[in-house]
């Protein structure tokens, strides 16, 4: 299995809703990442987990809450989002934290719309 699987593929939520994005990989990668991508822009890093511990939080608002229950699974819990949070949310994994030699494997993303 050489994939990163993200669910759901599309999500529409109201500003008072609570929802979660899920990411799963079975490649034995020990680093997992959340990125946010707005249209026609490069992805922006949100969080990095290394060996199931949060190692980087790029000053992301607390309405985004990451969780890494085990080495294969990464969640992003969403609460009280704003319309400007609408974007493509990408999960990625790498064999080691910096992905220096093997690169990063990205999922196909969850397209989130906040109404």
8 makes contact with other proteins (CB under 8 A): no
Instruction: Give the whole-angstrom CA distance, residue 30 versus residue 49.
Output: 8
107 makes contact with other proteins (CB under 8 A): yes
Question: Quick one: which of 72, 75, 86, 105 contacts other proteins (CB under 8 A)?
Answer: 105
Site for other proteins in 57-86 (CB under 8 A): none
Q: What are phi and psi of 83, to 5 degrees?
A: -55, -30
Instruction: Give the whole-angstrom CA distance, residue 27 versus residue 102.
Output: 12
CB of 15 or CB of 56, closer to other proteins: 56
**Could you check whether the bond before residue 8 is cis, i.e. omega within 30 degrees of 0?**
yes
Per-residue tokens: 96: 């080691």
The two beta strands, 87-94 and 53-57, are: unpaired
103 makes contact with other proteins (CB under 8 A): yes
48 makes contact with other proteins (CB under 8 A): yes
- Rounded to the nearest angstrom, the gap between the alpha carbon of residue 114 and the centroid of all alpha carbons in its chain is 17
| Shortest distance in whole angstroms from residue 61 CB to other proteins | 19
* Residue numbers at the binding site for other proteins (CB under 8 A): 6, 31, 33, 40-43, 45, 48, 50, 55-56, 88, 90, 92, 97-101, 103-109
């Amino acid at each position: 299995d050489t994939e990163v699987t993200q669910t759901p593929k599309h999500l529409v939520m109201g500003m008072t809703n609570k929802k979660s994005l899920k990411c799963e990989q079975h490649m034995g990668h020990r680093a997992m990442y959340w990125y946010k991508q707005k249209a026609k822009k490069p992805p922006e890093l949100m969080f990095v987990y290394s060996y199931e511990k949060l190692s980087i939080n790029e000053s992301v608002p607390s309405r985004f809450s990451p969780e890494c229950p085990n080495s294969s699974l990464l969640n992003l819990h969403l609460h009280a989002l704003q319309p400007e949070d609408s974007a493509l949310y990408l999960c990625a994994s790498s064999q080691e934290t910096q992905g220096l030699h093997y690169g990063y494997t990205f999922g196909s993303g969850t397209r989130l719309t906040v109404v």
